Amino acid sequence: MLSRLIYGGRRSLLAIAEGLAVVVALGLPLGLVAGYVGGWTDWLLSRLAEIVLSMPTIILILVLLAVLPQNESAAMLAFGVLNTPSMLRVVRAATLKVREELYITAARLSGLSHVRIAVRHVLPRVAGPIIVQASIFAAYALLFETGLAFLGLTATTSTPTWGGMVGDAATVILQDGWLIFPPGIVIALTILAFGVFGDFVRDVAVRDLRPTAKGVKPAVASPVPASPPANLVAVPLNDALLQVRNLSVAHNMRGCSTVVVDDVSFDVFAGETVGLVGESGCGKSVTAMAVLRLLPPALRPVAGRVYWEQQDLIVMRDRAFDRLRGSAIAFVSQEPQPSLDPTFRIGSQLAEVVRSHEDVSRRAARRRAHELLELVELPNASAVARTYAHELSGGMSQRVALALALAGRPKLLIADEPTTALDVTVQAEILSLIRRLQADTNMAVLIITHNWVSLPTFATARL
């Protein structure tokens, strides 16, 4: 009995592995694509999943075994295909949530490819649900495999499996009733072990994805003068890096359209700073997101044009615009810590962005990452490169975000309230740092703020 349990377990677990491999190989990439890409791709994959789920699994497997009798591998592979939609839905739901994280937006703004973002930044964050779903499927597959073997569809007396042993015991239950208990207990314990093991692996895999934020201090409101300072003067318009002409953005919901940004025009010249100033909720950030083509689905430009060096960004193809992100136009948000991926060290994130813009070796990318950390005046850059995002203070996180933005050597930096989450002392340091970086690189800056006082920091600022 013991030898049959050991040998039969090997065959049963191999059958489970075959079905699990199919589920992961098909459901994982399809779920990532559906959740990350969205749109028509998501709709088509979701409808296809619904069609597969509507098929009667047991009947299709019985038909297959009628064509390929006793072929357990074929039955488990087909079982995996028919259960792929369950994995697809779990991965899709987790990906839909993760893709809205600020660090995913920051990765796109840094110029990383969609494949790299999905594999390196989205996949680690959805590992927990994937592991749990895989363990659930393994338990379900064991029940299915033992059921087929019990019915004699995949097992013979000469090649024992756990289900086949239960079937054999059922034929002699009146003579030796105890024979049914050893395989039954082993099956039950294995199913329980799959659940416990799945939770254990999930906890270990995502243990580092639960950082505790520290060092972020609340913003301190600064007084707003009644009129702009004297040095914020108008400049005659010439050829500019960025030209926004009569831009309007509308919010669409349930057939109703509401204009949230109305007829905005401004220019940003090389080496200068332009302040986009207004009260909270007036549409400053929406304007910046429209320039970067990162508006949420409910928002869309309804009028106007945005030009970058005479190229119309509104009608530019996505692939061409992706090449501008990070290398021509960079972005720094008002929440630096959520913009950093918590699963990677700071040096690794910087090196990844560097390699996406420059054809350099890994060693050269790490060296450039160290230079960027020194450029933003972080003390002990080597130690910072080895830390995770949750180990940084608010000011340090903002400096790292600036380093990420500078990794592609951009011509224009869009800074959306870059000092809101910092205290007044660190605010002044960050603004002074941006000013020095601008002077050193001749980079243009579009600073979005509700605070008039922050703009005189820049000698060339205008409204």
Q: What is the pLDDT of residue 454?
A: 53
Q: Among residues 332, 457, 317, which one has the least CA distance to residue 400?
A: 332
Domains and CATH numbers, the chain: 2-209 (1.10.3720.10), 242-462 (3.40.50.300)
d(CA 52, CA 19): 16
Assign residue 326 a region (left: φ > 0; alpha: ψ between -120 and 50; beta: otherwise): left
Say what the pTM is. 0.60
Instruction: State mean pLDDT over 29-43.
Output: 89
d(CA 391, CA 384): 9
Q: What is the pLDDT of residue 29?
A: 92
Q: Looking at the predicted structure, is the pLDDT value of residue 210 above 50?
A: no
d(CA 442, CA 273): 10
Q: Among residues 322, 324, 323, 304, which one has the least CA distance to residue 314?
A: 304
pLDDT digits (tens, 9 = 90+) for 121-179: 888 888 888 888 888 888 888 888 888 888 777 766 567 778 778 877 777 777 877 88
pLDDT digits (tens, 9 = 90+) for 329-361: 888 877 777 778 887 888 888 888 888 888 888
Q: What is the pLDDT of residue 105?
A: 76
User: Could you tell me the CA-to-CA distances from 392 to 93, 208, 371, 379, 421 in Å, in that order?
Assistant: 30, 15, 18, 12, 14
Instruction: State mean pLDDT over 392-414.
Output: 83
Q: How confident is the model at residue 82 (pLDDT cuts 50, 70, 90)?
A: very high
d(CA 258, CA 252): 7
Instruction: State mean pLDDT over 245-273.
Output: 83
Q: Looking at the predicted structure, is the pLDDT value of residue 26 above 90?
A: yes
Q: What is the pLDDT of residue 350?
A: 87
Which residues, 6+ apart, have CB-to-CB distance to 266 below 8 Å?
Answer: 244, 274, 276
pLDDT digits (tens, 9 = 90+) for 245-256: 888 888 887 777
Which residues, 6+ apart, have CB-to-CB distance to 203 below 8 Å?
Answer: none
Instruction: State mean pLDDT over 441-451.
Output: 80
Instruction: State mean pLDDT over 391-404.
Output: 81
pLDDT digits (tens, 9 = 90+) for 198-209: 888 877 766 545
